[in-house]
Amino acid sequence: MEKEKYANDLREIREIMSRSSRFLSLSGLSGVSTGVIALVGALLAHQYVFNTQDFLTIGSVSIEGENLRLLLLISFGTLLLSVLSALWFTRRKSKKERQYVWDLQAKRLLLNLMIPLTTGGILSLIFLFRGYVGVLPSITLIFYGLALVNGSHHTLSHIRYLGIAEIVLGIVALLFIEQSLYVWMMGFGVLQIIYGLIIQRKG
Q: What integer is the mean pLDDT of 72-97?
A: 85
CA-CA distance, 169 to 179, in Å (whole number)?
A: 12
155 with 166: CB under 8 angstroms?
no
**Domain spans in the chain, listed from the N-terminal domain onward:** 27-202
Residue 165 Cα distances to 16, 91, 139, 171, 183, angstroms: 30, 27, 14, 10, 11
79-82 long-range CB contacts below 8 Å, 24 or more apart? 81/37, 82/33, 82/34, 82/37, 82/38
Average per-residue pLDDT for the chain: 82
CA-CA distance, 166 to 141, in Å (whole number)?
A: 6
**Could you report the per-residue pLDDT of 115-156, keeping only the tens digit for each?**
999 999 999 999 999 989 999 999 999 999 999 998 877 666
Global confidence as pTM: 0.81
CA-CA distance, 123 to 189, in Å (whole number)?
A: 22
**Could you report the per-residue pLDDT of 87-99, keeping only the tens digit for each?**
888 777 777 766 6
